[in-house]
Amino acid sequence: MKNKKKNIIIFSIVIAIFIIGIVPKEFQNDTFFNVAVGRYIANNGIDMKEHFSWCANNLYYTYSHWAFDLVIYTIYNFFNFTGIYIATIIFSIIIGITLFILLTKRNNNPIVAFFITLTSLYTTRYCLTARSQIISFLCFIIEIYCIENFIETNKKRYAITIIILSIIVANFHSATWPLVLVLFLPYVASGILNIISLKNFRKLHIKKLERKIKKLSNDSPKIENYKKEIERLENLNIESSNYKSTIAEYKIIRKSDYNLKNLFLLILILLITGLLTPTHGTSYTYIIKSMFGKSNFGNISSMYYISEMLPIIPINHLSMILFCILLITSLTFLPSKIKTEHAFLVLGLLLMTLQSGRYVYLLVFLGSYVLTDLITQILNMTIPDDIESLNNFFASKLRYSNINSTYYYNFY
């Protein structure tokens, strides 16, 4: 246990050093706007009007990240832009170490979590900047961990954490608040599917075996085995423990004991948390208006003027391509299996990413849970006795190696 804690500390230190080296030193244009809006809020409060437009005055403006603007302005007021840069590094380190620790807790494999975390951070390094997304990404990373643990344990602390995260997102980045609810959909769909599949699995598996029999020659010895399996399935009690061994032949892992009642109750509570913001309920309407509402430049939707909301060109997004390659390889050529909720999560995030470039980073961060789970399965099946020693080996190498700090402090 002591070795494991030591390893986690060592890996966390390396992740922190790695992040210092990859966080862009340049600010995005939005950062300067955030500072200006934060200054206005600090001096005048939230009036839901736009005061910095060069073409018109007193336009309606949604303060979708008022709390973040206020924090950024406060940091700027005391420490100037150097303070904002250092704060960005600190927030990024928190994201990296949080992702690593939560992946380790879910799969009990620090070495896999470490490499997946480094890969995720490097491919999403351009999002590690002084924008409100740095807060919402952290919240969503924690939310997925809490949802999965809440489903498994029904412990209230996970539900309370999700409620707190929802309130934070509603105030720091309300444009993404609907995703707090959307991230529940894969787990709700999985729970419903598992209830249905328990009733229909036996018939589907019998049909699969019958198709195999038809493809074989009449003198094949496998026919008798398949017929015996069909007979066993016809007499199988799907509530018995034998059901799990039968279903294990598939690439999908189903969880049959979802507590959908508690899950729906939590979602209903979260629906109310979007009101806990001084921006007049814009958490519910902002994303709809920004994506589908008319712009100030004619009848064309405003989403066509915002680059991050446009559909992506996959070849320009290495992170998504890398994620898809690892996922497909793990499921097609290796003996790993994907959970139903993870399958729905990945499919949903992929569809969202193809529709809008802003979700690429979310796919990588949340997809890390799926990849870590698949790779850990493979390692446990191939070298189950050496996992702990492998973790210790890499940790010891990192502990005693002479890391060239000039590499990590290369700020372009």
pLDDT band at 28 (very low <50, low <70, confident <90, very high): confident
The answer to whether residues 68 and 173 touch, using CB atoms and an 8 Å cutoff, is yes
Which has more confidence, 248 or 158? Answer: 158
Given this model, what pLDDT does residue 412 score? 29
Given this model, what pLDDT does residue 11 score? 94
Average pLDDT for 258-281: 89
CA distances from 18 to 113, 137, 327, 365, 369 (A): 15, 19, 25, 17, 20
Residue 408 has pLDDT above 50, yes or no: no
CA distances from 214 to 31, 148, 222, 304 (A): 65, 41, 11, 54
Average pLDDT for 290-308: 59
| 65-102 pLDDT per residue, tens | 999 999 999 999 999 999 999 999 999 999 999 999 99
Strand spans (E) along 330-390: 338-339
Residue 8 has pLDDT above 50, yes or no: yes
| 304-334 pLDDT per residue, tens | 556 666 666 666 667 677 777 877 777 777 6
Q: How far is it, in rounded angstroms, from Cα 254 to Cα 245?
A: 12
Residue 404 has pLDDT above 50, yes or no: no
State the pTM of this model: 0.79
Residue 402 has pLDDT above 50, yes or no: no
Which has more confidence, 281 or 49? Answer: 49
